[in-house]
Amino acid sequence: MKGFIDGKPMTKMLVDGGAAVNLMPYTMFRKIGKGPRDLLGTDMMLKDFGGNASKTRGAVNVKLTIRSKTLPTTFFVIDGKGTYSLLLGRDWIHANCCIPSTMHQCLI
């Protein structure tokens, strides 16, 4: 999906109904012009795809716009690398009353 974070264009956003939280890689955090002072401290530990636990760098609140809908969204910033710019989890899906269709690769 495509959208905007705080007015900056974003591509490669992945909606994952299996993810409990919204994730943002640290490289993307820096690309949108954020710095260490923008992070909210957190003790959140997340497991990567290999099952290894690692601490998040913190959380950041941004305005996420997809199509005509803008919603304040919290992302946990991680050091991991992925093929996505942002990962939108179940809280974002439910807040927007969306039904992700993996078969049709769209949101209903």
pLDDT(101) > 70: no
Residue 96 has pLDDT above 50, yes or no: yes
Nearest to 73 by CA among 85, 83, 87, 84: 87
| φ, ψ at 93 (rounded to 5°) | -60, -50
How much is the average pLDDT of 28-39?
92
CATH of range 3-98; options 1.10.10.10, 3.90.420.10, 2.40.70.10, 2.40.10.120: 2.40.70.10
**Which of the four pLDDT bands, split at 50, 70 and 90, describes residue 29?**
very high
Q: Band of the pLDDT at 9, cuts 50, 70, 90? A: very high
Domains of the chain: which residue ranges?
3-98
Task: Please report which helix (H) or strand (E) contains residue 106, including its range.
Answer: strand 106-107
Q: What angle do CA 38, 41, 42 make, to 5 degrees?
A: 135
Most confident of 14-28, 37-51, 60-74: 60-74
Could you tell me the two tokens for 43? Answer: 């003790």
